Amino acid sequence: MHNELILAGFGGQGVLLIGKLLAYAGMKAGLEVTWMPAYGPEMRGGTCNCTVVLSDRQVGSPVTNRPHGAIVLNLQSIDKFEPLVRPGGILVVNTSLINRPAVRTDLIVVPVAANQIALEAGSAKAANMVALGAFLGASGVVSPDLVRDVLAETFAGRQKIVQLNQVCLSKGFEIGQAYAPAMAGR
Partner 1 sequence: MAKKLMKGCEAIGEAAIQCGCRLFFGYPITPQNEIPEYMSARMPQVGGVFVQAESEVAASNMLYGAAGAGRRCFTSSSSPGISLMQEGISYLAGAELPVVIVNIMRAGPGLGGILPSQSDYLQATKGGGHGDYRVLVLAPSTVQEAADLTMEAFDLADKYRNPVMILGDGLIGQMMEPVEFKRRIEPEDLPEKPWATTGAVGRGPNIVNSLYLRAEDLEQHNLALGAKYRAMEAEVRHETYRTDDDPDVLIVAYGTVARIARTSIDNLREKGLKVGLFRPVTLFPYPAAALAAAAARAKHVLVAELSMGQMVEDVRAVVAGRVPVDFFGRCGGMVMTAEELAEQAEKLLAVPA
How far the first Cα of the chain sits from its last, in Å, is 11
As a whole number of angstroms, the distance between CA 82 and CA 77 comes to 8
Minimum CB distance to partner 1 smaller for 14 or for 176: 14
Q: Please give the torsion angle defined by the CA atoms of residues 152, 1, 4 and 186, in that order, rounded to the nearest 10 degrees.
A: -110
**Residue 32 main-chain phi, psi, to 5 deg:** -80, 135
- Residue 36 C-beta: closest distance to partner 1, Å: 5
Q: Which is nearer to partner 1, 64 or 177 (CB)?
A: 64
User: Checking phi first, is residue 123 left (phi over 0); if not, alpha (psi -120 to 50) or beta?
Assistant: beta
69 vs 176, beta carbon nearer partner 1 = 69
Residues whose CB falls within 8 Å of the CB of residue 112, separated by 6 or more in sequence, listed in order: 92, 93, 94, 95, 130, 131, 134, 172, 175, 176
Q: Quote the least distance from Cβ 34 to partner 1, whole Å.
A: 5
Q: Which residues bind to partner 1, rule: CB under 8 A?
A: 20, 23-24, 27, 33-37, 39-41, 57-66
Q: Kindly tell me which of 41 and 181 has the beta carbon lying closer to partner 1.
A: 41
* Residue 88 beta carbon to partner 1: minimum distance, rounded to whole angstroms: 18
* Residue 23 C-beta: closest distance to partner 1, Å: 6
